[in-house]
Structure 1
Amino acid sequence: MPPWFVHVGSQELYQALAGILRLVSLYMFTDAQSEGSYSVLIDILLGHLRKLISELRNKEHLKDSWQSWYKRTGSGHLVRQASNAACILNEMIFGLSDQAITSLERLFQSSPQETKVFCGNGNGKSFGYEGALPEHLVQKVYQNNGARSYLIECIGSILHEYLSPEVWDLPLGFSASLQQTGEDGDISLHFFNDNAMLHQVIIEGIGIFNICLGKEFSSCGFLHSSLYMLLENVICSNFQVRRASDAVLHAISATQNCPTVGHLVLSNADYVIDSVCRQLRHLDLNPHVPNVLSAMLSYIGVADKILPLLEEPMHAVSMELEILGRHQHPNLTLSFLKAVAEIAKASRHEAYKLPNQAESYKKEINAKMLNTEKRTGKHFSGSYANDTDIGQMDSQTNGGISTSEADMQEEEWEAVLFKFNDSKRYRRIVGSIAGSCLVAVTPIIASADPAACLAALDVIEDGIMVLAKVEEAYKHESETKETIEQVIHSCSFHNLLDTLGASEDETGENRLLPAMNKIWPFLVACFRSKNLVAIRKCTSTISTVIQICGGDFFSRRFHADGIHIWKLLSTSPFQMKPLAKQERPPLQLPYRRSPTSSEDSAAEISNLKVQASILNMIADLAGNKRSASALEAVLKKVSGIVVGIVCSGVKGLQDACVNALVGLASIDPDLIWLLLADVCYSRTENLPSPPSAEFPEIPQVLPPPASSKEHLYMLYGGQTYGFDVDFTAVETVLNKLYARVFTSNVQIVISRKTNFSDFSIEMPQLLKVLLDLFQTTALEA
C-alpha cells in the first residue's frame, strides 16, 4: 500500500482497488484485440513522470532554488501525480506476475456461481467461464515468447524513467547543500515528504519488476542498472526510503537464489565497482558515490570478499583526500574517510588470516617435500646450492624414478606453485590497499575537524596492524619459497623456475616502519593542535602502533618530539597560561578553517581527560616489554612529570598516575621509589626510626632538599604542576606502589641479602631495610 493511502483510505479499500488494476492489466495485456492499448496506457502514466523530469531539468537550467521551484504553481502537485502514476504502474506490472495470477485464480474459484457470467454484448449473447481464470490468459503470459518480450520492453521503458537522475536529486531533508544556499528554513516539510514517498514507491516498483521477471530481471540487465541506486538508498536519511531499499534488496536476493544481500552484491561486484569508479571521476555530478561505497562495505558486509577489486577505487579516493581534492570537494571529505575506514577494516579482517595461512602452507610444503624425498630417495635440503652439474642431477633423477612419475611430480609441484603465487599476490594486494589507506588519511590527522581526525586515526590503527600482519606472513612466505626452490633445483624442474618468478626486492616488502616514519610527524602535530578530542584519541593510537611496531623505533622520536606531549602533562588546567611565541597560530592555506581562538579556553575537565589519556598511554607503553624501550631515552623526564602530578594532589588524576608509575616502575623501580621517597621523607618530623643501630637514618640516605625546587622530580621533570606539594597524596601513592610493585622487589632483595628464610617485618620498618640495602648496594657498586 502506498504511504499516502494510510491517510485517505484503508488496507481493504486499497486491496480492492489494486485487484481491479491487476485484473484490468492482465486482460489488456493478453487481449489480442487491444494490443497496443497497453503501451498507450503505460505511456500515459509515464507522461506524469516525464513531465516532472522535464520540470526538474528546466529548474536546473534556470538555476532556480528548491524553494522557488516548489512554490511555483503545480510543482508540488507534479511530484504527487508522479507518485500516483508510479503506484498504478507498479500494480499493473504486478498483475502480470505469477503471484498475482495465482491470487486471481483463487479469487474466482472461491465463488463461481456469482461470477459465472460477467459481461455481455449488444446481441444478448453472454460469455463467461466456469469458476476459473481463462486458461489462454495464463498461457499467454507464461508461455508466449512474444508476450514475454513485450513485457520486458514495457518494464524497461518504465525503469528508464524510474532511474532518471533528476528524480533522485530531489532533496529529502535539510542537507548541507540547501544550507549553503540559505533555503534551509524556508522549505516546507511537505516538500520533503512528497519526495520521500515518490522515492519509496519507485524503489518498491523495482522490487515488483524483479518478482515479475524472476531470473530475467538479471539477464536483461535491469539488476545491474538498479543495484547501484538501491545500495545508495540503503543509507538514506529517510527511514521509509531506507526500509524500502532494504526490503527490495532482500527480495531480489531471494529471487536470484542468493542467501544474503552480501552474496547478491558479491555476484555483481564488478558492475557495482565499475559504477563506483566511473562516478568517482565526476564527483561534481555524483556527490553521493562515497556513501554508496561506504554502504556496500559496511551495511552489506562484503568488503573482505571484494578486496582485490578495490585497488582502483582506493586510488581515486586517495586522490580526493589530497589537498587539491579536499579543496574542490570539502563537503565530501568525511564521506570518503568513512569509505576508507571500511576498506581498512576489511583489510584488517583479511590480514589477521594471512600469517596463520602462510605458516600452515609452509608446513604443508615441508611435508610435501619430505614425501618427495622418500619417493625419489634424495635429500633436498641445501642440495641445489652444492650441485653444479645439472646433467648429473638429471641422470640421478631419471635413474631414481620413471619418466611418467617425474612428469606427474612436476605437474604436482606446478599446482603447488600456482597456489603459492595466488597467496603471494593476495598478500600484496592486502598490503597495497592498506598502504594506500594510510597515505590517504595521514595528512588529515592534523585536521581542525574533529570528526575527520578521529576517522583518520582509526584508519591509522587498522592500517598499521595490516602492514604488521603482512610482514609476518611474508616471513613465512619466504621460507616456503626457499623450500620450493630446493625441490625445483633438486628434481630439475627447470620449467617451473619462470613460474616461481625472480627474487623480489625485500625493501618493497618492508612497509611497516617506513609508513610509521611518515605518520609520526602528523601524530605530533595533532598534539600541538587545540583539538582535545583528537588528542585523546591520538594517545590511544600511539599506544597501539608502538606496541605493534616495537619501542626501539620510537626511542629517538620521543626524545626529539616528546616535548609536545609532556607539555600537556605539566600544564595545569586550572591556570591560564600566556600564549608563547612558538604557540602562535601557524600559517594556513586560504581554504582551511581558522583554528580555535586562544582566548577560547577549554573546560578544566576536558584538559584533565587529556592528561589522563596521556598517563594511560605511558602506563600501556611502559608496562609492555615490546614497547617499553620507547620511553628509555625520556624515562627520567616522564617519571619526574608524573610524580609532579602526584605531588599536586589533583584527585581526578591519581588513579591514572598510579597506573603510569606502576608501568614506569617495571622499567626502573629504583628511580620511581627515589622520586617518591625524596618528597615523602623530605619533612624532618615524624620520620620512622631505624629498626636497629646498624641501620642509617633516612636523611643520611635521602638528604632533604634546600627548597621545593630541588626535589628530584623537579630536576628531572623540569617544572612543577603549579600547586604546593600534597604530602598526603604522595604518601598514599607510595603505599599503593608498595602493595603493587615494591614489596615483591624488596622480598627478592631480602632473600638474597639474608641467611634466614623466615623474615617478617612491619611496613614502616620495611622502608628502613630497603634504605640500608640500597646504600649497601651503592657502596658495593
Structure 2
Amino acid sequence: MCLGKHFASSGFLHSSLYLLLENLVSSNFHVRNASDAVLHVISLTSGYTTVGELVLANADYVIDSICRQLCHLDLNPHVPNVLAAMLSYIGVTEKILPLLEEPMHSVSLELEILGRHKHPDLTIPFLKAVAEIAKSLKREAASLLVESESFFKQVELQISDMEQKSQTDSRREQLEAIIFKLNNSKRYRRTVGSIAASCLTAATPLLASSGQAACLVALDIIEDGISTLANVEAAYRHEKGTKEAIEEVIQSHSLYQLQDTMDVADEETDENRLLPAMNRIWPFLVACVRNTDPVVMRRCVGAVSCCVQICGGDFFSRRFHTDGSHFWRLLTTSPFLRKADPKEDRIPLRLPYRSYPSEESYAEVSSLKVQVAVLNMIADLSRNKRSSSALAVVLKKVSGLVVGIACSGVLGLRNASINALHGLACIDPDLLWLLLADVYFSLKKDLPFPSNIEFPGLDEILPPPSSSNQYLYVQYGGRSYGFDVSLSSVETVLEKLRPLVFIDQMYS
C-alpha cells in the first residue's frame, strides 16, 4: 500500500502509529531502529516535517490507546514506556496537555503503595514517563512566564492607545479580544500547574525508596516540578496585573458587561501551590538525604539547593534549624576515618516485602564527593540573597564545620570548603575572620605583637585554647572526627580568602 493521504484516511495510520511507538522501546536494537525509520518515512509522506508533528497531530488517538491499555497493565506492561517515548518526541504542548489528565491519574495510582506492590517492575517505567511530563512542563512554564510578561506589557500599550481614541465600539472590540486571550492564558496556566502538582504528588513518596534508580528519577521530577510551579505563580502575577489594568478601563468607561466575560475564567481559586507542595516534599527530602547510597545523597543535596533557591530562604529557616543536622552530619567525619556510632549496632525492623540496601561501607572517594556536594550547596545558598536567610539560624554551626574542614589536611575538600567560606562571607565575614584568626594565632605562637597601651593584646581578645576542643569553630560547629587542623592549611585558606573577602571588607 502506498503511503500518503490515502494511508491516513483509510485508518491505517491510526492503527499503526501506536504499534510503531511501542516498538521504539523494544529491547531489540534493530526493531527500535526500524520503527524510528518507518516513523520518519510516514511523517514525510503525510506532509509533516518531523515525527513530533505527526504524533502531535494524532495525539488523541495515541493517548486513547494508552488509557485503554493502562486499565490492563498485566497484559500491557509496556504502556509506560510508550507514553515516555511519545512525550520524548513531542513534549507537552497546549494541544496535548488537556489529554494528559486522564493517563496522569492512572499513573499516579500505579505509583501509590498498592500499585507499586501489585506491579513492582513498572515503578521505574512509570516514573520515567512522569519525568518526561515534568521536563516538558518545565519548558512550557518557562515559555508561559515569558508570554504572560510580554502580554502584560502589550496590554498596557494597547490601553494607552485606547485612551487617545474616542470610538466606543472600537474600544469594546479591542477589550473583548484582550479578555478572550487572557482567559485562555489563565486556563492553560491552571492546567500546567495542576498536572505539575500531580507529578509532584506521584513522585514524592519515592524519595524515601531504597532503590537508587527510583530516588534519582524522583529527584529529577521534584526539581522540575518545583521550577514549574514557581514559573506558574510568576505568570499568575503578570496575569493579575493585566486583569487590574483591564478593570480600570472597564470602570472608567462604564463597560460593565465586559466584566462578566472576564470573570468566567475566575471560577477556580488561584491558590498558592509552590510552598504547600514544598512543605509536603520536605520530610521526604530529609529521608532521602539519609539514604546510604552516596549517589542518591549527592543528587538529593543538589535538589535541595535548587529548591531552596527557587522557594526562598525564609521558608527553610526553621526547617534547617530542626532538620539541618541530617545534612551537617555529612560534614562531621573525615572520609578517611569512620566514626563509630552506637546506633548503627542496632538491628532495625525488617519487613518481608521491603528490599534493603547493602550494609557495606562505601569508598572514601564517594564520601568525599558527598561532602563536596554539601559544601557546594552551602556556597550556593549563601551567595544567593534570596536563599541566604535559610542559613541565618544555623550560621554559627555551619561556619564552624566549614572552617574545621578548610583548616584540615584533607586536600580533596580544600577548594570546596574555601568556596563555601567565600559564600558564607557574603552573610557574615566578621564571624569567619574570628574563627580563622582563633585557629591561626593559636597555632602560630611565635608571632611578635606590637605593644600598644590603647588596645588590649590579641591574646586577651582571643585567649589561646587549652585544648583542641576549645577552638571557637569546635564550640560552634561541634566536635568533628578526623579533621585535625594544620598551620599550613590555615595559612593557605587565609591567603586565598584575603583577596576574595577580607580586602573588600577593609575598604568597604
Task: Establish whether TM, by shorter chain, passes 0.5.
Answer: yes
SS at the partner of 2:354? coil
CA deviation profile, 1:28-86 (whole Å, cap 9, x unmatched) = xxxxxxxxxxxxxxxxxxxxxxxxxxxxxxxxxxxxxxxxxxxxxxxxxxxxxxxxxxx
Find 1:357's aligned residue among 117, 128, 147.
147
- State yes or no: 1:432 paired with 2:222: no
- Name the residue aligned to 1:303: 92
CA distance in 2, matches of 1:588, 1:361: 57
Amino acid at match of 1:342: E
Tell me if the contact between 1:539 and 1:614 (Cα under 8 Å) persists in the aligned partners.
yes
SS at the partner of 1:601? coil
CA distance in 1, matches of 2:474, 2:268: 47
CA distance in 2, matches of 1:293, 1:518: 27
Tell me if the contact between 2:298 and 2:369 (Cα under 8 Å) persists in the aligned partners.
yes
CA distance in 1, matches of 2:442, 2:267: 61
Paired residues in the alignment total 507
**Can you give the 5+ residue segments of structure 2 that lack an aligned partner in the other structure?**
none
- State yes or no: 1:231 paired with 2:21: yes
Cα distance change, pair 668–417 in 1 and its aligned pair in 2 (3 A): same
CA distance in 2, matches of 1:747, 1:539: 36
- State yes or no: 1:700 paired with 2:460: yes
Amino acid at match of 2:208: A
Tell me if the contact between 1:550 and 1:626 (Cα under 8 Å) persists in the aligned partners.
yes
- State yes or no: 1:623 paired with 2:396: no
Q: Which has the larger radius of gyration?
A: 1
Cα distance change, pair 584–434 in 1 and its aligned pair in 2 (3 A): farther
- State yes or no: 1:632 paired with 2:421: no
Report the TM-score, using the length of structure 2 for normalisation: 0.95
- Name the residue aligned to 1:454: 216
**Following superposition of structure 1 onto structure 2, how do residues 556-567 of structure 1 map, counting pairs within 5 Å?**
556-567=318-329
Offset at 1:589? 5.0
CA distance in 1, matches of 2:504, 2:208: 44
- State yes or no: 1:285 paired with 2:47: no
- State yes or no: 1:512 paired with 2:274: yes
- Name the residue aligned to 2:488: 728
Tell me if the contact between 1:546 and 1:554 (Cα under 8 Å) persists in the aligned partners.
yes
Tell me if the contact between 1:572 and 1:721 (Cα under 8 Å) persists in the aligned partners.
yes
- Name the residue aligned to 1:255: 45
Tell me if the contact between 2:70 and 2:106 (Cα under 8 Å) persists in the aligned partners.
yes
Cα distance change, pair 660–507 in 1 and its aligned pair in 2 (3 A): farther
- Name the residue aligned to 1:73: none
CA distance in 2, matches of 1:590, 1:717: 40
CA deviation profile, 1:226-285 (whole Å, cap 9, x unmatched) = 100101112322221111111111111122111111111111010011111111121111
Tell me if the contact between 2:66 and 2:103 (Cα under 8 Å) persists in the aligned partners.
yes
- Name the residue aligned to 1:530: 292
SS at the partner of 1:282? coil
Cα distance change, pair 365–609 in 1 and its aligned pair in 2 (3 A): same
Cα distance change, pair 415–626 in 1 and its aligned pair in 2 (3 A): same
CA distance in 1, matches of 2:428, 2:465: 23
- State yes or no: 1:602 paired with 2:362: yes
**Following superposition of structure 1 onto structure 2, how do residues 353-432 of structure 1 map, counting pairs within 5 Å?**
353-376=143-166, 406-432=168-194
**Following superposition of structure 1 onto structure 2, how do residues 144-155 of structure 1 map, counting pairs within 5 Å?**
none
Amino acid at match of 2:354: R
SS at the partner of 2:442? coil
SS at the partner of 1:352? helix
Cα distance change, pair 251–505 in 1 and its aligned pair in 2 (3 A): closer
Tell me if the contact between 1:471 and 1:509 (Cα under 8 Å) persists in the aligned partners.
no
CA deviation profile, 1:343-388 (whole Å, cap 9, x unmatched) = 1111111111122211221222222222332223xxxxxxxxxxxx
CA deviation profile, 1:365-415 (whole Å, cap 9, x unmatched) = 222222332223xxxxxxxxxxxxxxxxxxxxxxxxxxxx54454343222
- Name the residue aligned to 1:685: 445
CA distance in 2, matches of 1:297, 1:689: 70
CA distance in 1, matches of 2:190, 2:134: 15
Amino acid at match of 1:441: A
- State yes or no: 1:549 paired with 2:311: yes
CA distance in 2, matches of 1:485, 1:586: 62
Amino acid at match of 2:443: R
Cα distance change, pair 507–624 in 1 and its aligned pair in 2 (3 A): farther
CA distance in 2, matches of 1:737, 1:224: 65
Find 1:334's aligned residue among 114, 124, 129.
124
Offset at 1:532? 1.2
CA distance in 2, matches of 1:579, 1:719: 14
CA distance in 1, matches of 2:267, 2:440: 58
Cα distance change, pair 312–719 in 1 and its aligned pair in 2 (3 A): same
- State yes or no: 1:218 paired with 2:8: yes
Cα distance change, pair 701–265 in 1 and its aligned pair in 2 (3 A): same
Tell me if the contact between 1:618 and 1:663 (Cα under 8 Å) persists in the aligned partners.
yes
Amino acid at match of 1:230: L
Find 1:319's aligned residue among 109, 112, 117.
109
Relative contact order (alpha carbons < 8 A, sep ≥ 6): 1 or 2 greater? 2
Amino acid at match of 2:92: A
CA distance in 1, matches of 2:350, 2:165: 71
Cα distance change, pair 585–512 in 1 and its aligned pair in 2 (3 A): farther
Report the TM-score, using the length of structure 1 for normalisation: 0.62
CA distance in 1, matches of 2:500, 2:453: 30
Moved more, 226-235 or 684-693: 684-693
Amino acid at match of 2:369: K
Tell me if the contact between 1:619 and 1:663 (Cα under 8 Å) persists in the aligned partners.
yes
Tell me if the contact between 2:91 and 2:132 (Cα under 8 Å) persists in the aligned partners.
no
- State yes or no: 1:467 paired with 2:256: no
CA distance in 1, matches of 2:267, 2:303: 30
CA distance in 2, matches of 1:702, 1:736: 23
**Following superposition of structure 1 onto structure 2, how do residues 644-659 of structure 1 map, counting pairs within 5 Å?**
644-659=404-419
Tell me if the contact between 1:559 and 1:633 (Cα under 8 Å) persists in the aligned partners.
yes
Offset at 1:503? 8.4
SS at the partner of 1:501? helix
**Can you give the 5+ residue segments of structure 1 that lack an aligned partner in the other structure?**
1-208, 377-404, 749-781
**Following superposition of structure 1 onto structure 2, how do residues 631-780 of structure 1 map, counting pairs within 5 Å?**
631-683=391-443, 685-690=445-450, 696-748=456-508
Q: What is the percent sequence identity of the aligned residues?
A: 62
Offset at 1:213? 5.1
CA distance in 2, matches of 1:303, 1:584: 48
Find 1:242's aligned residue among 32, 37, 52.
32
Offset at 1:726? 1.5
SS at the partner of 1:366? helix
SS at the partner of 1:432? helix
Tell me if the contact between 1:438 and 1:463 (Cα under 8 Å) persists in the aligned partners.
yes
Cα distance change, pair 500–583 in 1 and its aligned pair in 2 (3 A): farther
SS at the partner of 1:303? coil
Tell me if the contact between 1:574 and 1:604 (Cα under 8 Å) persists in the aligned partners.
yes
SS at the partner of 1:581? helix
CA distance in 1, matches of 2:142, 2:161: 30
Amino acid at match of 1:659: N
CA deviation profile, 1:172-207 (whole Å, cap 9, x unmatched) = xxxxxxxxxxxxxxxxxxxxxxxxxxxxxxxxxxxx
Tell me if the contact between 1:304 and 1:349 (Cα under 8 Å) persists in the aligned partners.
no
How well do the aligned residues superpose, as a CA RMSD in angstroms? Answer: 2.1
- State yes or no: 1:347 paired with 2:137: yes
CA deviation profile, 1:256-315 (whole Å, cap 9, x unmatched) = 1111111111110100111111111211111001111111111x2343352332222112
Cα distance change, pair 576–505 in 1 and its aligned pair in 2 (3 A): farther
CA deviation profile, 1:131-156 (whole Å, cap 9, x unmatched) = xxxxxxxxxxxxxxxxxxxxxxxxxx
Tell me if the contact between 1:649 and 1:729 (Cα under 8 Å) persists in the aligned partners.
yes
Offset at 1:591? 2.4
